[in-house]
Amino acid sequence: MKSVTVYDIAKEANVSVATVSRVLNNTAPVKASTRERIQSLINKYQFQPNALARSLIKKVTGMIGIILPDITNPFFPEVLAGLEQEARKQGYTFFLCDTGSSNLDIKEQYKRETQYLNILMEKQVDGIIMIGGRIDLHKCSKEMAKEVAEINKRVPLVFINGNLPGAKFHRVVIDEEAGGRMVTEHLIGLGHRDIAFIGGYSQMSNTVERLQGFRMAMERAGLPVREEWIDHGGFSVQRGKNMMGRLLEMDTVPTAVVCANDLVGIGAIKAAVKSGLQVPRDVSITGVDGVPLAASVIPELTTMSLRCLELGRAAASVLHGLISKSGDVQTLTILQPELVIRESTSVPMQKEA
Binding of its own copies by 297 (CB under 8 A): yes
3-class DSSP assignment, residue 154: helix
Binding of its own copies by 90 (CB under 8 A): no
- Min. distance of Cβ 55 from its own copies in angstroms? 6
Binding of its own copies by 28 (CB under 8 A): no
Give backbone dihedrals phi and psi of 90, rounded to 5 degrees, phi first.
-90, 0
Residues near 39 by Cβ (< 8 Å), separated by ≥ 6? 23
Q: How far apart are CA 8 and CA 43, in angstroms?
A: 13
**Of the candidates 96, 106, 250, 332, which one interacts with its own copies according to CB under 8 A?**
96
Task: Please identify, using beta-carbon distances, which residue of 51 and 332 lies nearer to its own copies.
Answer: 51
Binding of its own copies by 124 (CB under 8 A): yes
Instruction: Give the length of the chain.
Output: 353
Instruction: Transcribe 224-263 into DSSP letters.
Output: PP-GGGEE--BSSHHHHHHHHHHHHTSSS--SEEEESSHH
Query: Is the Cβ–Cβ distance between 172 and 323 less than 8 Å?
Result: no
**60 to 79: interface string for its own copies, x by CB under 8 A:** -x-x-------xx-x--xx-
Binding of its own copies by 51 (CB under 8 A): yes
**Of the candidates 9, 15, 38, 80, which one interacts with its own copies according to CB under 8 A?**
80
Query: Is the Cβ–Cβ distance between 113 and 134 less than 8 Å?
Result: yes
CA-CA-CA-CA torsion sign (305, 308, 310, 314): positive
Q: How many CA atoms lie within 13 A of 90 on its CB side?
A: 24
- Min. distance of Cβ 284 from its own copies in angstroms? 16
Q: How far apart are CA 171 and CA 334, in angstroms?
A: 8
**Of the candidates 25, 27, 50, 278, which one interacts with its own copies according to CB under 8 A?**
50
Task: Please identify, using beta-carbon distances, which residue of 19 and 184 lies nearer to its own copies.
Answer: 19
Q: Which residues are registered as beta bridge partners of 289?
A: 305
Binding of its own copies by 56 (CB under 8 A): yes
Binding of its own copies by 20 (CB under 8 A): no
Binding of its own copies by 97 (CB under 8 A): yes
- Min. distance of Cβ 303 from its own copies in angstroms? 15
Q: How far apart are CA 313 and CA 352, in angstroms?
A: 44
- Min. distance of Cβ 126 from its own copies in angstroms? 13
Residues near 115 by Cβ (< 8 Å), separated by ≥ 6? none
Give backbone dihedrals phi and psi of 253, rounded to 5 degrees, phi first.
-115, 150
Task: Please identify, using beta-carbon distances, which residue of 51 and 341 lies nearer to its own copies.
Answer: 51
Q: How many residues bind its own copies (CB under 8 A)?
A: 45
Binding of its own copies by 126 (CB under 8 A): no
Contact window for its own copies (CB under 8 A) among 19-27, 88-96, 199-207, 208-216: 88-96
Query: Of 81, 64, 83, whose CA–CA distance to 156 is shortest?
Result: 64
- Min. distance of Cβ 179 from its own copies in angstroms? 21
Query: Is the Cβ–Cβ distance between 99 and 67 less than 8 Å?
Result: yes
- Applying the rule CB under 8 A, the residues between 245 and 284 that interact with its own copies are 263, 266-267, 269-270, 273
Q: How far apart are CA 281 and CA 114, in angstroms?
A: 48
Residues near 11 by Cβ (< 8 Å), separated by ≥ 6? none
**Of the candidates 4, 39, 119, 226, which one interacts with its own copies according to CB under 8 A?**
119
Contact window for its own copies (CB under 8 A) among 29-37, 120-128, 159-167, 187-195: 120-128
Contact window for its own copies (CB under 8 A) among 19-27, 32-40, 211-219, 296-304: 296-304
Which residues lie near its own copies (CB under 8 A)? 7, 17, 50-53, 55-56, 61, 63, 71-72, 74, 77-78, 80-81, 84-85, 88, 93-98, 100, 116, 119, 122-124, 237, 263, 266-267, 269-270, 273, 292-293, 295-298
